[in-house]
Chain A
Amino acid sequence: MVFNSYTFIVFFLVMMGLYNLPISWKSRKIILLLGSYLFYAAWNPPFILLLWLSTVIDFFVGRALYTQENKAKKKALLVISLIGNLGMLCFFKYGGFLLENFVSLVNALGMDFHPAKPNIILPAGISFYTFTTLCYTIDMYKKESKPVKSLLDFSLFVTFFPHLVAGPIVRPPQLVPQFESPKKATRLQLYQGLFLLSLGLFMKVVLADTFLSGPADTVFSAKAALQTLDAWMGVLAFSGQIFFDFAGYSTCAIGVAACMGFTLPENFRYPYGATGFSDFWRRWHITLSAWLRDYLYIPIGGNRKGPVRTYINLMITMLLGGLWHGANWTFVVWGALHGLYLSIERFIQGMKPNAGLQNAQVAGVSMRLGFVKALFVFFLVNVTWVFFRAPDFTSAWQLLTAMFTQNSKGEIVLSTLQVISVSVIIVGMVLCHWRMRNTSVLATAGKLPSWLLGLVWAILLILLILSQESSGSFIYFQF
């Protein structure tokens, strides 16, 4: 189920009621677990089996990995876990893509091979829970944390409904200890959670779905060449849509967890206020970036094997990060562009003494220069979004051409209202990201007088109710 649905509102109220019953902590955890399975099954019940399979395999393999002293057996166990997790991900997510490319390859070699197209349904959130379970088994292999004691706690770690289908991607030390002792939300956590849930739903339903998805869809599905303004508005709309959609989901997830007394890691920190690309990736989908850094970039060498290998490692990490988002070459190019940006940035920084400090902190750099840098990063990130959202390279190229050449004969596809809406929201978003880049929404909300915060909160809720876009699924569900 999705957060922006009546089903979720009812589910959440029932869960809050049951979770706060005066019963044992174990019973409350069982309620949470069953609720989490219901949350997942409400989308497509049979896929719950995959979730169980993944949970059970990784619980037992993880424990065996931790206790196994024989190196060969230990490696074999790790391979079993990797094959189990990545095999499932590959089949469901990349099966069609791999077959399509294999067919293209053999046909190019002169073989006439045309198999039937596989009709594979992608289980919601498989990329997220696979990464969650993978990090557990890898941690067990490296003995970086202790095995989870009970299957109940491990199942809850994997399945806890706020993070299950679209993150934040949690690590065992971030969540498992929270299941070990009885939890109940403090009043502050409850109010903060409700505020974050309202804010997340507002971002998703009002900003992403009501105002930005329409212009983005229109522009990215246009067949004809577009006018420059329309092309830019469509891409900017998508840059806002994907942020509000995904950050909205994460905000809801963190808020829902807080209402039950749990803390989930931050996933977005005003990314469009970033003054560099490494800064951007410390702010955008933080838990994935950190996962890729810790479980891919560093293990393949990171920056420990000289500059050339560092650049290669960066590119490998970003290419695979791109592929994680979707089984299409356009995602690979999106990742490659980010890898390229990061490499260039690193190269430039390497030429400056003590330049490493400049990126993440604006202190010492004038605000104006910092803002110009942020705008430049935002501009280049928008170029990458073209590949991320376009269905194929022809469409992407057509759109880029429209963005960077003056085509007075291009088609106009966006209405005046859409152009105004996108302009207002995107300018507001960028200014907000810049201004808020070193703080958090809760810290800012805490500084407001109650009446003003109440007014803002009311406006969010009223717009949410009036938007009446109740069932659109989140973009990141498909990843």
Chain B
Amino acid sequence: MEHRSLRNACIVATVLVLAFLTFWELRIRSTKVGISYDDGAELWSHYRAKVYLPADQATVFIGSSRNKYDLDLETWEKRTGEKAIQLAFEGTSPVPALHDLANDSLFKGKLMIDVTEGLVLTTSPYNFKAIDGAIAYYKKQTPAQKFSFQVNRVLESQFVFLERDYYSIKALLNRIPLKERPGIQHEPYFPIDFGRITFGRQDKMTDRFVQDTNIQNQVKGIWAYFTKMAMKEPPPPQKSIDSIFTQIAADVKKIKARGGQVLFVRTPSTGPFYMGETMAFPRAQIWDHILQITEAPGIHFSDYPSLAGFQCPEFSHLSPKDAITYTNNLIDIIEAGKWWQFPHKSAGK
């Protein structure tokens, strides 16, 4: 083999790869899709490592997607003068993250826990997979993986096609409509406009999503699918519910014992979704009970007019614009209730 032949092949390959990637990037951008970061264990671990900031410099958020959509991180950081560390994960129980922080003796900061009742009480492995995987990854993360993350961060901030959930080979192939084998069920495919993820791990609906009720209805359909699936499962036995409560109480106690501060928040949901939630998870048995056993303060959106008036486009999460208002109002309520102090706060909203 001659080196010239290989050199020419190398040139051909380089030109073709660059041409294809340019075409692919431009094609995706022509659909008005912007940058979104891969919200996997790597990004979660990046923020998990930051929880050791002193209590007057940061607040940690755990829970599920509602915390990620409803809390506008920029607003929080601007108003409080503190870092907002988002550790929530879509569709997951807050219990493993709480347990992880409770057992980390170096964590002594402020912790806000989003209470989405169905996910707090879940025992389905599906609802633990992402968070358990992220915690395990964080504990075993190697220096090489940390460096790769930093390189990836730079690339992801420039190229839309690097979004794994929508543009990887697997994601593209999974969208081919094939006749499925009996008994095989796929996870519903969320429209891309439903959640674009910032580097701070905030989920944001696109303007197109907020304006287009057809896309919103697709997500409402997915909630209906999940509800149907959940109803097929037997309700969790009282014993497991009790053990979840016991663990939450014990973990909150551990954090408080070393000076940490815990605040529970029930974020808004609306329409049939909220109705279903209130029927399935009566407030007295879940929300009130959690506050009682943990002796921690809590903010339920329905108790505060400034939090209760939002309309979630797909019944469960706030639009980016409402997230800003919600975050401002939430900070006002926290301060008014004197639950937390923000010594570095700025005056204006």
Contacts and interface: CB of A to CB of B under 8 A. Distances in A.
Interface of A: 1-2, 5-10, 41-45, 186-188, 190-192, 194-195, 206, 210, 411-417, 419-421, 442-443, 445-446, 448, 450-451, 453-455, 457-458, 461-463, 465-471
A458 B17 contact: yes
Contacts of A445: 1, 6, 9
Contacts of A10: 147, 151
A144 to B, nearest CB: 34
B174 interface: yes
B13 A457 contact: yes
A468 B162 contact: yes
Nearest to B178: A416
A450 B5 contact: yes
Nearest to B41: A471
Given A442-B1, A446-B2, A466-B169, 16 more contacts: A7-B147, A8-B144, A10-B151, A187-B3, A187-B7, A188-B6, A416-B179, A417-B174, A445-B6, A445-B9, A454-B11, A457-B13, A461-B13, A463-B169, A468-B168, A470-B148
8 smallest A-B Cβ distances: which pairs? A454-B12, A446-B1, A458-B16, A191-B6, A457-B13, A42-B144, A6-B151, A1-B144
Contacts of B303: none
Interface stretch (B96-104, B180-188, B193-201, B311-319): B180-188
B294 interface: no
B167 A43 contact: no
**SS class, residues of chain B in contact with chain A:** helix
B9 A453 contact: yes
A421 B170 CA distance: 11
Contacts of A412: 181-184
Nearest to A454: B12
A454 B181 CA distance: 38
Interface in B131-170: 142-145, 147-148, 151-152, 155, 161-162, 164, 167-170
B20 interface: yes
Contact of B142 (A42, A186, A414): A42
A457 B147 contact: no
Interface residues of B, number: 47
Nearest to A5: B148
B229 interface: no
A450 B8 CA distance: 6
B176 A417 contact: yes
B10 interface: yes
A179 B167 CA distance: 45
Contact of A467 (B170, B178, B180, B186): B170
Contacts of B182: 412
Contact of B17 (A45, A415, A462): A462
Interface string B101-127: 000000000000000000000000000
A395 to B, nearest CB: 18
Given A42-B142, A467-B168, A457 B9 contact: yes
